[in-house]
Amino acid sequence: MAFAGNCGIEIDLGKQIDPIAALFSEELGLAIEYLPSNEAVIQSILDKAAVPYQVIGKTTQNKRIVFTVLTRHSSLITVLDEDMRVHRDIWEETSHQLDLMQRNPENIKAERRNIYDRKGPSFHIPFAPKQTAEDLFCSTAKPKVAVIREEGSNGDREMVSAFYLGGFELWDVTVTDLLEGRVTLDQFRGVVFVGGFSYADVLDSAKGWAASIRFNKKVWDQFEKFYHRPDTFSLGVCNGCQLMALLGWVPWRGTGGELQPRFIHNKSGRFESRFSTVKILKSPAIMLSGMENSVLGIWVAHGEGLAFFPDEKMFMECEFGLAPIRYVDDDSKITEAYPFNPNGSPAGIAGLCSPDGRHLAMMPHPERSVLTWQWGWMPEEMKQSLDASPWLRMFQNAREWCEKNS
């Protein structure tokens, strides 16, 4: 628990025992941590249920593990008093050795160095997240969004939920629906390309999906018309982000061919699923309006998220204005260091947007962090003070933009 909590513990078993017999017992038991203010309530519940218990210690900000016991001879002895970080490093040794054989050794060695004494992420929310007004859910004039999926997509239901919470009317649309004319894009204000593993990534991430759109003139013409309509927006997440890059929707049109920025295999050589920290920079992205300078936790889950720019000039142009989401370290500084930057993207780039801000592609998953309980970690004071997850603002921004530009 101390290893995971990145803290110290002070344990005092406080009764006459044999230290070895007690500390290495395999009897059934449970250890819980609670706030001191809750102690009386917890003890009353346990007493009522006749469950035996003992208060054995406390957690500390000082990263030391201290075990004290009272022996059978009534002598108080300290059986362990050492640095938690040293013991955690020993405990992780086996996993470290296995990782060296399975992933890029350079990344694994960097991870061991970078997490040895990490302080933990420092989130910052410069705005007040709010729930969507109840009356908007009952509206019969909600903007329509097409949630586009393909064979192998798996993020569609989460995305539907996120946009619903933002006040949209959602439609589940497959590329086959477009091919067979069951639905057309001209009725939608937004198009969302979801995460997953379209066509099982057989041709690399999103390439099969991109081909199914690019090489079907009927479908491609619909997407082209939608892209250029001034009253539309689009979002691509993870696999959808990779798709938008391959389609040339970000950062801007007309690049094409070998110069087109895209997302390639992670530097670690493996699929990365982590609760990472990103910073939102000032940009034209409509979905990130009012979120500038936020430092937020968010899930990543991808094998090909390294932003690759074949043209250095284009990279420079994107870095200053069109790369609004960046991976940061525990000091909230943009980073390329692993594992804070899970894929090795230059300048910590986690997404790209179009110059007019209507089209946004990002590798991390805001739809998987749109509720506060979905966060992998959150400071206690933030849990108590937040009315809604900061990521909900993205989807509310999109709805407000649609209302202003109808």
* Closest listed residue to residue 239, CA positions, set 168, 283, 305, 292: 305
265 tagged catalytic: no
Alpha-carbon span 171 to 174, nearest angstrom: 10
Burial pattern 215-244, b for ≥16 Cβ within 10 A else e, equals eeeebeebbeebbeeeebbbbbbbbbbbbb
**Three-class secondary structure assignment of the chain:** CHHHHCCEEEEEEEEEECHHHHHCCCCCCCCCCCCHHHHHHHHHHHHHCCCCCCCCEEEECCCEEEEEEEECCCCEEEEEEEEHHHHHHHHCHHHHHHHHHHCCHHHHHHHHHHHCCCCCCCCECCCCCCCCCHHHHCCCCCCEEEEEECCCECCHHHHHHHHHHHCCEEEEEEHHHHHCCCCCHHHCCEEEECCECHHHHCCCCCHHHHHHHHCCHHHHHHHHHHHHCCCCEEEEECHHHHHHHHHCCCCCCCCCHHHCCEEECCCCCCCEEEEEEEEECCCCCHHHCCCCCCEEEEEEEECCCEEECCCHHHHHHHHCCCCCEEEECCCCCECCCCCCCCCCCHHHECEEECCCCCEEEECCEHHHCCCHHHCCCCCHHHHHHCCCCCCHHHHHHHHHHHHHCC
365 tagged catalytic: yes
Tokens of residue 159, six digits: 């995305």
Q: Is residue 395 a contact partner of residue 169, using CB atoms and an 8 Å limit?
A: no
134 tagged catalytic: no
* Candidates 238, 241, 353, 402; catalytic one: 238
Q: Give the catalytic positions in this structure.
A: 238, 365, 367
